[in-house]
Structure formats: structure tokens, C-alpha cells
């Protein structure tokens, strides 16, 4: 945070922003497996490749591949180096829930209609609601949301838009506190392009 404030002549960050930053990074570092796996001076650096793969793919992320097997297809590709590339792009995310749609909470909004979709999410805890927005009585200042579907544990969202570089067609919002992993567009596409075109057809 010091690095940020120095550009504002050390003007202090508002307490509300500072608290959200502290809470976010506290969760991020506690939940980020890649800091240990791929960070500086990782103990895995001393291991041969087959053993590194066994630890990262076969142990550290085996729960993720099992819970989201519809996306990762571990029965077909667990031995493929694609998985090693994908796990490096995974980041833990905590999204604050908003149980009511009457009052919008910017920290709960994941994507609005026509937003650029930069990352997809694998839900470990919590619920993400999907729907659309409308204007009450055609009044611009009376925006409302109508949710039509709930995604929960072991669901993933945003994959189609990320993979095909599409904008969001719907409104996505965390209804309860959500703990998840994200995979950004660049990491996913870069990983896929490094592997045979026949593999891409499965996605």
C-alpha cells in the first residue's frame, strides 16, 4: 500500500479502502496454494519433474480437478502438461455476498451485461446468482435486477465467455459470500494454444 500512496504524495488511503485491501490480501495469501508451489525458493525446485507433477497435479489440486471434472476432464487429460500450465494461472478469490437485489453492492457484482469477461470462477463455497437488469417504469434511476438461476458449490461460471472472448450477456452477483478459484482469459487461452488442436476440440 505504501507503493500506491507514494504516487499521491503519501496521502493516506481511506480507512474503508484500507480495510477491504487488508481483508482481501489476508484471504488471498491464506488460500493461494501457488505461493508455496511456484513462488520464490519453492521446495519443489529441488524435485525432478515427475515428482513435481505428482505433488502439484496429483495432490495439491486433486480436489479441484475432482470437483470440477466437467471442465478439466481429468479422466482424459490428467497426464497432460496442460494441467501444469492451468494450475499456475489459478488465483483464490473471495467475493462479498449481497442477499438482496434491491440494494446494489459493488463488491458483490461479478459481471454486468456487456461487461468484458476477464476470468472464470470455480465455486468452492457460496452462491452466485445470474439474471438480468431492468428499469422500473422506464426510469433510469430505478434500476432493478431479476435473478433467474443460482450457481453453487462445484459449479463454474464465465467459461464460455472467456474461451470465446465474448462479453457477458447476463448479470452475475454473489448472493452469499463466495470462496472460489479464478482462471483468467490470458492464462487459459495461452495454456490451450500450447497443446495440440485436437485437445482444444474437447473444450
For 123, residues 6+ apart whose C-beta sits below 8 A from its C-beta are: 151, 152, 153, 154, 155, 156, 157, 178, 179, 180
* Residue 191 clears pLDDT 50, i.e. is over it: yes
pLDDT for res 54: 79
Note whether 128 and 116 are within 8 A (CB): no
Note whether 145 and 101 are within 8 A (CB): yes
User: Distance (Å, rounded) from C-alpha 88 to C-alpha 133?
Assistant: 35
User: Distance (Å, rounded) from C-alpha 110 to C-alpha 145?
Assistant: 14
Does 18 reside within a domain? no
User: Distance (Å, rounded) from C-alpha 111 to C-alpha 160?
Assistant: 14
Note whether 161 and 117 are within 8 A (CB): yes
Q: What is the tens place of the pLDDT at every residue in 53-104?
A: 778 777 888 888 889 988 887 766 656 677 778 888 899 999 999 887 666 7
Question: Which residues span the domain enclosing 125?
Answer: 32-203
Does 77 reside within a domain? yes
User: Distance (Å, rounded) from C-alpha 13 to C-alpha 195?
Assistant: 45
Does 156 reside within a domain? yes
Chain mean position to CA 194: 22
Q: pLDDT band at residue 8, thresholds of 50, 70 and 90?
A: low
Segment among 38-42, 150-154, 156-160 with least mean pLDDT: 38-42
Q: pLDDT band at residue 201, thresholds of 50, 70 and 90?
A: very low
Does 57 reside within a domain? yes
Does 153 reside within a domain? yes
List phi, psi (to 5°) of 112.
-105, 165
User: Distance (Å, rounded) from C-alpha 64 to C-alpha 73?
Assistant: 11
Note whether 178 and 95 are within 8 A (CB): yes
* Residue 2 clears pLDDT 70, i.e. is over it: no
Does 16 reside within a domain? no
The enclosing domain of 68 has a CATH number of 2.60.120.10
Tell me the pLDDT of the chain averaged across its residues.
82
Number of folded domains in the chain?
1
Q: pLDDT band at residue 141, thresholds of 50, 70 and 90?
A: low
**Model pTM greater than 0.85?**
no
Does 121 reside within a domain? yes
Note whether 133 and 171 are within 8 A (CB): yes
Q: Write the DSSP symbol of residue 114.
A: T
Among 126, 114, 118, 130, which residue's Cα sits nearest to residue 168? 114
Grid coordinates of 170? 447476463
Grid coordinates of 32? 493461494
Does 7 reside within a domain? no
Amino acid at each position: 500500500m505504501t507503493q500506491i500512496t507514494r504516487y499521491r504524495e503519501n496521502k493516506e488511503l481511506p480507512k474503508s479502502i484500507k480495510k477491504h485491501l487488508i481483508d482481501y490480501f489476508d484471504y488471498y495469501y491464506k488460500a493461494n496454494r501457488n505461493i508455496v508451489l511456484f513462488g520464490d525458493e519453492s521446495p519443489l525446485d529441488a524435485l525432478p519433474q515427475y515428482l513435481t507433477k505428482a505433488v502439484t497435479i496429483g495432490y495439491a489440486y486433486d480436489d479441484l480437478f475432482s470437483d470440477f471434472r466437467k471442465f478439466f476432464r481429468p479422466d482424459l487429460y490428467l497426464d497432460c502438461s496442460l494441467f501444469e500450465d492451468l494450475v499456475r494461472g489459478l488465483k483464490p478469490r473471495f467475493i462479498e455476498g449481497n442477499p438482496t437485489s434491491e440494494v446494489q453492492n459493488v463488491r458483490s457484482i461479478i459481471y454486468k451485461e456487456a461487461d468484458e469477461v476477464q476470468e472464470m470462477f470455480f465455486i468452492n463455497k457460496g452462491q452466485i446468482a445470474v439474471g438480468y437488469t431492468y428499469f422500473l417504469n422506464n426510469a433510469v434511476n430505478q434500476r432493478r435486477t431479476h435473478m433467474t438461476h443460482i450457481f453453487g458449490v462445484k459449479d463454474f461460471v464465465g467459461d464460455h465467455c472467456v474461451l470465446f472472448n465474448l462479453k457477458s450477456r447476463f448479470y452475475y452477483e454473489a448472493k452469499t459470500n463466495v470462496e472460489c478459484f479464478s482462471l483468467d482469459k490470458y492464462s487459459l487461452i495461452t495454456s490451450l494454444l500450447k497443446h495440440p488442436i485436437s485437445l482444444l476440440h474437447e473444450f
